[in-house]
Amino acid sequence: MASILVIDDEKSIRNSLKDVLEYEGHTIAEAENGMEGLSAVRSNDYDLILCDIKMPKMDGTEFLEMALKSKPELSIIMISGHGDIETAVDCIKKGAYDYLAKPLDLNRLLVIVRNGLDKSNLITETKTLKKKINRYSNSKIIGSSMALNAIHEIIGKVAPTDARVLITGPNGSGKELIAKALHNQSNRAKNPFIEVNCAAIPSELIESELFGHEKGAFTSAVKTKKGKFEQAEGGTIFLDEIGDMSASAQAKVLRALQENKITRVGGEKEIKVNVRVLAATNKNLKEEIKESNFREDLYHRLSVILIKNPSLNDRVEDIPELAQFFLEQACNEMGVAQKSIEESAIHELQKKEWTGNIRELKNVIERLVILSGNKIDKNDVQKYA
């Protein structure tokens, strides 16, 4: 489902396009001229724009130039009359995605709209990948302990399905990596993986972050915004630290899971969503349910599959692999010659109480790379860890 803006001074054309595209499941906004359309573009995020060339106040060519200057990634399809074909071709040279000639051909309209939306999705996905490429490159699960092998087995069975998964475990134990592995091995792997840290978002903003909001829904809502559920369309949404989510947001998430529909904050229209939901928490949700801090019905919806991620203290046999991985990573990131770590140093690391789990081990290895010599030994670990 896409958000499409139709700009045309002829109401009959706008109505025809709206009827056809809404039948296809898209949300349609309208504007009578280029000026009104430009104002809408600056205030909202659209997946696609259909714009007439000949209009009063501001024609389509001028709108195209100003809209692309404001948002270069926009997919804009120009609508031309019989005498405007050359102008339409010129618009393509200036950045328009394609053009439609009047009278509108329904089949051509649907094909061009579909292709234009594919382009928009590719741009969005590329941006997401560029932002996360560094994190994804180091997102493999390291270790070969019995506990991890059991988790790998579960991932292999569950990933190809759309079953919801609740991942539990202490902070810093790598719950996010399990969620990414589930997504990467699923049929949704080519679609977005959207992460939401429920503990990092203020309770008054969590609903807007998850479900989006309409322009004017609250004081700072200066434009319509898509929420994480819409951004994850066709892919996976990972709700990290879901035990910290407000009661109001829990109710809305439950509805989204039950009906596959959401409603933006300040909006009334239901929006269908197709996402797989993965969740994680460091809390004992059954205790939270007893204390009325978490909804029991939401817990059962989320925990179709339950994966318990062990602490580092419960899988110390993985420390040699983890230490070597973080050592190579740290040396590469710091631009220093590759260092080695002696077996005595590994044994010393295995004796340590890892209250911060894998995150703490990573920090310790980075510290050792900075403060130790070419070979990290037992004394270095005792001194700096």
Average confidence (pLDDT) over 171-196: 94
Residue 134 is predicted with a pLDDT of 44
Over 50: is that where the pLDDT of 357 sits?
yes
| CATH number 1.10.8.60 given to 313-384 | yes
First to last CA, the chain: 52
Residue 102 is predicted with a pLDDT of 85
**pLDDT tier for residue 136 given thresholds of 50, 70 and 90:** very low
**DSSP for 139-186, written as a single string:** -PPP---HHHHHHHHHHHHHTTS---EEEE--TTS-HHHHHHHHHHTS
Q: Chain-wide mean pLDDT for the chain?
A: 91
Over 50: is that where the pLDDT of 80 sits?
yes
Burial class, 29, CB count within 10 angstroms (exposed 0-12 / middle 13-18 / buried 19+): middle
Average confidence (pLDDT) over 174-201: 94
Over 50: is that where the pLDDT of 135 sits?
no
Residue 57 is predicted with a pLDDT of 85
Lowest-pLDDT choice from 151-155, 216-220, 271-275: 216-220
CATH of 138-310, one of 1.10.600.10, 3.40.50.2300, 3.40.190.80, 3.40.50.300: 3.40.50.300
Which pLDDT tens digit goes with each residue over 310-351?
Answer: 999 999 999 999 999 999 999 998 999 999 999 999 999 999
Q: What percent of the chain has pLDDT over 90?
A: 71
More reliable by pLDDT, 270 or 204: 270
Ranges 56-65, 103-112, 307-316, most confident: 307-316
Global pTM value: 0.67
Domain residues of the chain, as ranges?
Answer: 3-124, 138-310, 313-384
Average confidence (pLDDT) over 353-357: 96
Answer whether 3-124 and 138-310 agree in fold: yes
| CATH number 3.40.50.2300 given to 3-124 | yes
Half-sphere exposure of residue 182: CA atoms within 13 angstroms, side-chain side: 30
Residue 231 is predicted with a pLDDT of 94
Element (H, E) at 28: strand 27-31
Average confidence (pLDDT) over 205-214: 90
Residue 137 is predicted with a pLDDT of 44
Element (H, E) at 376: strand 375-376
The pairing of strands 165-168 and 193-197 is unpaired
Distance CA 55, CA 292 (A): 59
**DSSP for 64-119, written as a single string:** HHHHHHH-TT--EEEEE-GGGHHHHHHHHHTT--EEEESSPPHHHHHHHHHHHHHH
Over 80: is that where the pLDDT of 190 sits?
yes
**pLDDT tier for residue 219 given thresholds of 50, 70 and 90:** confident
**pLDDT tier for residue 131 given thresholds of 50, 70 and 90:** low
Over 80: is that where the pLDDT of 212 sits?
yes
Lowest-pLDDT choice from 101-105, 253-257, 359-363, 364-368: 101-105
